[in-house]
Chain A
Amino acid sequence: DTEVTQTPKHLVMGMTNKKSLKCEQHMGHRAMYWYKQKAKKPPELMFVYSYEKLSINESVPSRFSPECPNSSLLNLHLHALQPEDSALYLCASSQRADGDGNTIYFGEGSWLTVV
């Protein structure tokens, strides 16, 4: 089972709203990731959590706030977003964040539209 589950699949929010994206995996993975993908572009890394601790923040604006409540869950809290933040947000996980040959498994993504 290599499943990463993301909810919601689609989200439309106004620039003053607060919303959250959720991600769950039950593979016993200890590394979880958020990526952002704009249309016709490759995914870009936003955050990496390793053993529930934030280990990489790729200079992401503070209107995006990640949270890792436990080893199976990863949230992305959204507040005061801009229309240019509209994108596909992909959650991913791997066994560890530092192992050789580590495979990163992606979820189906959450399509976010900011109006």
Chain B
Amino acid sequence: GNSVTQMEGPVTLSEEAFLTINCTYTATGYPSLFWYVQYPGEGLQLLLKATKADDKGSNKGFEATYRKETTSFHLEKGSVQVSDSAVYFCALSDLTDTGRRALTFGSGTRLQVQP
């Protein structure tokens, strides 16, 4: 079956530090990969996505590259801000037994950025 593994949190950084949140996946097919962000008390927002190997998704200074050889999709940002404090979910989308695509989420990584 499909699965997504994320690094345990919380990750605590000072403002302007470099961020990496690791994500690896296991999938039976050819999944698309996503990062979603959830700010406190809110729903999930799509942060970025990649649909095939070597694609790089980017948004708001965040980047992630779809690495098929290492089955990874690590999230990076060069300089974090306090406003980036949130929970980050790595997810994959693959076909289920019913022929429909569904998201499989990682457990989430809480990021805390201190001023």
Task: List chain A positions with a Cβ less than 8 A from chain B.
Answer: 2, 6, 31, 40-43, 45, 48, 50, 55-56, 88, 90, 94, 97-109
Contact = CB atoms under 8 A, between A and B. Distances in A.
Contact of A99 (B98, B101, B106): B101
B43 A102 contact: no
Contacts, number: 64
Contact of A98 (B43, B95, B105): B95
Top-7 shortest CB links A-B? A42-B105, A101-B51, A106-B44, A108-B43, A109-B43, A97-B100, A106-B43
A43 B44 contact: yes
Given A41-B107, A42-B107, A107-B43, A101 B49 contact: yes
14 contacts: A2-B46, A6-B43, A43-B105, A56-B98, A94-B101, A97-B101, A98-B99, A102-B32, A102-B93, A102-B101, A106-B36, A106-B44, A106-B46, A107-B43
Nearest to B107: A42
Interface in B27-44: 32, 34, 36, 42-44
Nearest to B50: A101
B102 A106 contact: no
Given A41-B107, A98-B95, A103-B49, A108 B102 contact: no
Contacts of B44: 43, 90, 106
A23 to B, nearest CB: 11
A56 B34 contact: no
